[in-house]
């Protein structure tokens, strides 16, 4: 998994995440920060809290402060995400 910073400030970050087939971001949580994943390319399996969903191009999901979240690429294609988190942890 590769994280590429696009914009960064004391208040938020805006990254591009690239996951090859089989790669994942483990489930974790951030107290005091919300994270939004927006799918640019591919399909990812997103975990937020107790729910899991497969989301494709043009779909987004939010993990609110303290909610466990993560993403896996279980498809055979690359997964590219815009990821915003605020306030910055």
Domains of the chain: 2-79 (2.60.120.10)
**Omega prior to 87 cis, within 30 of 0:** yes
Q: Is-contact 48 25, C-beta < 8 A?
A: no
DSSP label at residue 5 = E
**pLDDT tens string 44-76:** 999 999 999 999 999 999 999 999 999 999 999
**pLDDT tens string 9-37:** 999 999 999 999 999 999 999 999 999 99
What is the pTM (predicted TM-score) of this model?
A: 0.94
Banded pLDDT at 89 (limits 50, 70, 90): confident
């Amino acid at each position: 998994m590769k994280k590429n910073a696009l914009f960064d400030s004391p208040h938020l970050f805006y990254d591009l995440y690239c996951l090859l087939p089989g790669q994942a971001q483990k489930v974790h949580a951030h107290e005091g920060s919300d994270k939004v994943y927006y799918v640019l390319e591919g399909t990812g399996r997103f975990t937020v809290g107790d729910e899991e969903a497969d989301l494709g191009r043009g779909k987004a999901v939010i993990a609110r402060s303290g909610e466990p979240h993560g993403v896996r690429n279980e498809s055979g294609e690359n997964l590219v995400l815009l990821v915003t988190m605020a306030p910055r942890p």
